[in-house]
Amino acid sequence: MPPALFLIALLALSRAAAAPAGGVRADIRVGFDGYVVPDVWIPLAVRLESDRAVTATLEVMTTRTRPPGTERVRLSVHLVPGTPYPVTIPIVVHDVHAPLTVRLVTGDRVLGQWRVVVPPTRLVDAVVVAVSRRPVGLQQLLGEESRVRAAYLAEEDLPARWELYEGVAAVVLRDLDERRLVPAQGRALADYVATGGRLYLAAPPPADILSHHVLRPLLAAAPAPVPSGAERLHPWGRGGLVVMPTDPFRSDLSSDAAAVWARTLAEVRGPGLVDRTLLELLPRALRLSVWVQALIVLTLGLYLLSLRWLARLLQSGHLGVVVALVIFTSFTLLTAGLNTVARRGTAGLIQATVAQGLINQEIALVESAGRVIVPRGGAFRLESGAGGLIRATAAADTVLTLSAVVRFEGRADGSLPVRAAALLPLPIRGTYRETPEGVEVNIRNRTGRLLRGGFVVLGGRVQALPPVGAEAHLRLTPLDWREAPAPDAARGPADRLLAWAIGRLRGDAILSATVSLVAWLDDDRGVLRWAGLPAAPLLLVFPLSPAEAP
């Protein structure tokens, strides 16, 4: 079979059959141009059509076999006859051999069910998303055998949530028809860049694309110097927009330009500040209250002491036997009650939330790593404080419901690691200036909350800060810099987390070069919420901008 035909056949397999089911038809596409990056959020685009008005729940179910787990994502849909209903659902595919099912249900009735097959050959390490009227050439630059694949998308297929870019190594835009974009897609693209993504504009003169209003805010940032000099880098948060003077989709691309593109696209997106090490810092269980422990021991002690009395009661006729049975039952009910109290008291969420301020953005990438603790197994329910997506990082049966309040429910046996991220407004600005007398730091905090327990971090060394209210002007003298504490030496979870953040800053390619502020912010918005439990305070990691010369 010719390679092109083979590719078309595979692509057809990765799209679900559009056979009508219950009068509802569905066109389903998973991933980017059929490419699926495992274990990260990817889009599943569904286009529903119905012959009648339907209000139902669209459910996407992904499973994994080893260890077993089923993850469901649910979304309410309202179908109108004759009007296509396009919707994109974030999903995580762990195992292409396990079934991926899309269902439309109302109550207990299944209106339609479609099975999606992802061919193993479409499983890739990452994708480079390209929007171009000439969708050819990029894969040659990436390497034909590369596990990073070029995915050519139409404007309307660009994700409308920044999280869905998780498996995207870079975005290359050559042509962009803004009329085909909704505002959420433009915001998602900017947020993707702000959270560390790379956006390349193939903009050979006259470069009309540079005037697009979606890109204008990103281009407004002053370009940073680039070693080769040919391209212009506009930093934006943790990432940046790069204006390339050549068109990688042209068949007559010069070898020099091709080499620049190949080198540029091969750059690996740096890891985020929050990784698995954050989870390892967290305690593995919630402590049972000392009072409950004491009550349990007291009850058992009383029970032991009462055994002689119970034995005597058993000797004293029918009434004694009845009284003894009542006492046995009372003790059993009491311990059952204590069991319930112990279960409730030790079930909950242990989480660490790190808010990473994005330079000059007044927004923060807030990431939460946590453990859902259900000591003896059972159901749990979390809510997303900021509409961000939540997922388990281990196998479990879970349901993510996308509604006005994002809910994450499921069953855990003991402990289940979970992760969530959101972009939240953070009206804090900070600058620093290095002078012969030391470092001058200015902080403007318009969050209305106190920054406490803070440090300024420079080159792995730290200086403690007093609590910062609305504004602070500080001069940090050279003699007051101290070595950062090691996480192992820190006492208590809060100090360990601070030490961890300072350690991560030292290793962060972007933030290690600048002065940063690390402090606690009593922000109750919380990314992960467990009903009845107070939200964890945010550990703010905020890069300070160099102040302009007076």
> What residue ranges bind other proteins (CB under 8 A)?
284-288, 293, 296-297, 299-300, 303-304, 307-308, 311-312, 314-315, 325, 328, 331-336, 338-340, 342-343, 346, 375-378, 413-415
Nearer to other proteins, 287 or 473 (CB): 287
Min separation Cβ 416 and other proteins, Å: 13
Q: Tokens standing for 302?
A: 């009383």
CA–CA separation, 510 vs 269, rounded Å? 11
Min separation Cβ 67 and other proteins, Å: 13
φ, ψ for residue 110, nearest 5 deg: -95, 115
Nearer to other proteins, 304 or 509 (CB): 304
Nearer to other proteins, 112 or 375 (CB): 375
SS3 letters for 394-455?
A: CCCEEEEEECCCCEEEEEEEEEEEEEEEEEEECCEEEEEEEECCEEEEEEEECCCCCEEEEE
Min separation Cβ 305 and other proteins, Å: 9
Nearer to other proteins, 18 or 336 (CB): 336
Min separation Cβ 419 and other proteins, Å: 21
Burial of 319 by CB count in 10 Å (0-12 exposed, 13-18 middle, 19+ buried)? exposed
Nearer to other proteins, 322 or 513 (CB): 322
Nearer to other proteins, 221 or 327 (CB): 327
Nearer to other proteins, 216 or 312 (CB): 312
CA–CA separation, 35 vs 236, rounded Å? 27
Min separation Cβ 300 and other proteins, Å: 5
Min separation Cβ 460 and other proteins, Å: 35
Min separation Cβ 418 and other proteins, Å: 17
Distances (CA, A) of 234 to 44, 256, 358, 463, 512: 31, 23, 14, 31, 19
CA–CA separation, 245 vs 266, rounded Å? 18
* Angle formed by the axes of helices 290-315 and 317-345, nearest 10°: 170
Nearer to other proteins, 340 or 403 (CB): 340
Min separation Cβ 290 and other proteins, Å: 9
φ, ψ for residue 450, nearest 5 deg: -85, 135
What's the CA dihedral at 149, 150, 153, 158 to 10 degrees? 70
CA–CA separation, 347 vs 279, rounded Å? 17
CA–CA separation, 427 vs 415, rounded Å? 35
CA–CA separation, 404 vs 393, rounded Å? 24
Min separation Cβ 545 and other proteins, Å: 44
Which positions ≥6 away from 208 have C-beta within 8 Å? Answer: none
Nearer to other proteins, 337 or 469 (CB): 337
Nearer to other proteins, 317 or 492 (CB): 317
Distances (CA, A) of 435 to 375, 475, 514: 54, 10, 15
DSSP 3-state of 189: helix
Min separation Cβ 344 and other proteins, Å: 10
